[in-house]
Amino acid sequence: MAPTLTIEGLMTTTSNQAAPPVRSVPGVPARRRKRDDRLVGWLFISPVLVGFAVFYLLPTVLGLYWSLTDYSLIGTPEWVGLKNYGDVLHDSEFWNSMRVTLYYVVSNVVVQTGLALLLATLMHRLTRSVVLRTTLLLPWLVPNVTVGLVWLWLLDTNLGFVNRVMDSMGLPVLGFFTNPHLALPTISVVNVWAYTGYTALLFYAGMLQIPGEIYESASLDGAGEWRLFRRITLPLLRPILALVLVVSLIGSFQIFDTVAITTKGGPVNATRVIYFYIYQQAFNFFNMGYAATMAILLVLVLSVLTAVQLRLLRASQSELN
């Protein structure tokens, strides 16, 4: 009886047979070496690493060291330990600068975020004009020094265009940058004007990621615009909202150039924010160690506030996942 031919038998027979020898081709190595691109990768990112080390890491280390010394930029730093930190915590002018800064941060972040959300929602629901988006971005592209100078001229008490218009309408002339009660709100308005358009575009980009079918389904169920915004847009926009709030918080604490151009910390220290106070201590009074101490404390405050914001807003989670 002839043996039965099966697939299993063919596979077994084939596997038991010795594989034919592989002929080597001249000029081609028998076994190729695995390519290692790590060296190339390090070469590509080396400029960034050098820039980070020179402009961020080194100043941070020097600032931490100077905060423990009595250093005036002229002589040799003298080690004083934690004395500067104790002096800062008992400095009434430091706490006044922090109070002024917090007032500016709260007013700036709240108003800027609210207006940006409104503009982004209107663009998303009504128009998607490229010209409008470009126009909103223009104030952000102007340097802060130029913005401060332009608004200083516009709001000047004697020659400013705004006060001339108000005077022609029979309204009282206001010292926007010279009145202690108006100077800081005016600076806040100037920076809101400069950054709201950019923030609105960030929100708008996040809204474009939301599927339109969700809005269509909710509209068929009878949801109005306010309900769509509250129930759909805001929850799905949470990662972008967290990013905007963190960036706005850090940027608001770093307000300096507008104050330096317009009020120089006055009148009566009403606009002397913490960054301007650090600048004064370092380059006007030559207390570099004391200024470094305030800078280190400011970094700690910003780190804590940023961590709290990210935790409360659950920035790493999205309802779209």
Sign for the CA dihedral angle at 206, 234, 133, 210 comes to positive
User: Which pLDDT value is given to residue 32?
Assistant: 54
Ordered domains of the chain (ranges, CATH): 95-268 (1.10.3720.10)
- What distance, in Å, lies between the first and last C-alpha atoms of the chain? 66
Q: Is the separation of the CB atoms in 285 and 72 below 8 Å?
A: no
pTM of the model: 0.81
Task: Give CA–CA dist 73/13, Å, rounded.
Answer: 86
Mean pLDDT by 10 residues, the chain (321 residues): 41 47 52 70 92 93 94 89 95 96 95 94 84 88 93 92 93 93 95 94 90 86 84 87 91 93 92 96 94 95 89 66 55
Q: What is the pLDDT of residue 179?
A: 94
What angle, 0 to 180 degrees and rounded to 10, lies between the N-to-C axes of helices 92-125 and 130-141?
170
Spacing of C-alpha 316 from chain mean position: 16
The structure tokens 């490229």 sit at 130
DSSP letters for 45-81: HHHHHHHHIIIIIHHHHHHHHHTTEE--SSS--EE-T
Specify the 3-state DSSP secondary structure of 126: coil
By the 8 A CB rule, do 255 and 106 touch?
A: no
Collapsing DSSP states into helix, strand and coil, what is residue 102?
helix
Residue located via tokens 């006060």: 163
